[in-house]
């Protein structure tokens, strides 16, 4: 198997000076080209035993209901050829509706919600589909630059079939006025690629009297098409 080359204009450059942490963490020497071998072209499988109670519903992981706007997010994990990836692990984490993470290093002066931890884990079904319920995360300030605020986002960690497909990204919400000011979002070089990270409002997933629905597909690197398998 051979994976397609990553197209230009999709992933951020490692050094993106307006996101300050890149200045001392991005490697300065060029990456060395590697001919992928067995380790790169394989990867771990995950079992449903990793799915803890209410793994797919962040609103039901404690005794009570968290504050905030309840949402349902659905979508598919696909490769760039459009083929769905079944039984793929997605790990999720986010801040609460007030913009505070359940994390010891988050010192933002916004309330923690005793009913919200903000961690989820789902696996795609046979058609590559996933679904989870949560509350919409809030915006929060960070110290990257004066008056810096992160747009609302949910962190996604996704495994494909091989370690080279591995992806960690963030899902953003449509119409968020903070997107234009966010160096992490704008580290992605093209409009088309940035739009890939924005969920769509989805009336079909929206449940009356219960929760708004959003749709978000994740697309991973895929194998080069060959005459035999196309």
Partner 1 sequence: MAELLITPSQTIGPFFKEGMELPQGDTLFPESVPGRRIRVAGIVTDGLGQPVSDALLEFWQPDAAGRFGGPRQGSSAGFGRVLTSKDGRYSIRTILPGTVPAADGNLQAPHILVVIFARGLLRQLVTRVYFDGEALNATDPALARCGARAATLVAKRDGADAYAWNISLQGTNETVFFEA
Which residues are catalytically annotated? 101, 140, 150, 153, 155
CB of residue 42 to partner 1, shortest distance in Å: 5
Question: Which DSSP string corresponds to 48-74?
Answer: GGG--TTTTBGGGSSSSPPSS-EEEEE
Tell me if 40 contacts partner 1 by CB under 8 A.
yes
Closest CA to 218 of 30, 69, 90: 90
Instruction: Return the range that interacts with partner 1 (CB under 8 A); candidates 62-70, 104-112, 130-138, 203-211.
Output: 104-112
Tell me if 107 contacts partner 1 by CB under 8 A.
no
Tell me if 85 contacts partner 1 by CB under 8 A.
no
Of residues 1-20, which lie at the interface with partner 1 (CB under 8 A)?
A: 6-7, 10-14, 16, 19
Question: Which DSSP string corresponds to 84-115?
Answer: B-TT-EEEEE---TTS--SSTT---SS---TT
User: Hey, which residues does 5 pair with through a beta bridge?
Assistant: none
- For strand 70-79 and strand 218-220, is the pairing parallel, antiparallel, or unpaired? parallel
Among 66, 68, 99, 118, contact with partner 1 (rule: CB under 8 A): 118
Tell me if 44 contacts partner 1 by CB under 8 A.
yes
Instruction: Return the range that interacts with partner 1 (CB under 8 A); candidates 60-68, 123-131, 188-196, 202-210.
Output: 188-196
Q: Which is nearer to partner 1, 29 or 126 (CB)?
A: 29
Burial 66-96 (b: 16+ CB within 10 A, else e): bebebbbbbbbbbbbeeebbebbbbbbbbbb
Among 168, 203, 208, 226, contact with partner 1 (rule: CB under 8 A): 168
Tell me if 109 contacts partner 1 by CB under 8 A.
no
């Amino acid at each position: 198997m051979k994976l397609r080359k990553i197209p230009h204009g999709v992933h951020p450059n490692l050094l993106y000076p307006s996101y300050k942490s890149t200045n001392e963490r991005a490697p300065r020497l060029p990456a060395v080209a590697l001919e992928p071998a067995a380790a790169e072209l394989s990867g771990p499988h995950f079992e449903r035993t990793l799915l803890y109670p209410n793994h797919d519903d962040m609103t039901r992981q404690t005794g009570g209901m968290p504050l905030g706007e309840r949402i349902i997010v659905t979508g598919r994990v696909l490769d760039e050829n459009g083929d769905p990836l079944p039984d793929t692990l997605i790990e999720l984490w986010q801040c609460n509706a007030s913009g505070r993470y359940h994390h010891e290093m988050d010192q933002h002066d916004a309330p923690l919600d005793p009913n919200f931890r903000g961690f989820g884990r789902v696996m795609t079904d046979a058609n590559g589909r996933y679904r989870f319920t949560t509350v919409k995360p809030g915006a929060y300030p960070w110290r990257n630059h004066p008056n810096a605020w992160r747009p609302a986002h949910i962190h996604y960690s996704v495994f494909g079939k091989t370690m080279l497909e591995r992806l960690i990204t963030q899902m953003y919400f449509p119409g968020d006025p903070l997107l234009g000011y966010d160096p992490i979002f704008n580290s992605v070089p093209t409009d088309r690629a940035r739009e890939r990270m924005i969920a769509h409002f989805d009336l079909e997933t929206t449940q009356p009297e219960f929760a708004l629905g959003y749709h978000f597909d994740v697309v991973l690197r895929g194998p080069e098409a060959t005459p035999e398998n196309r």
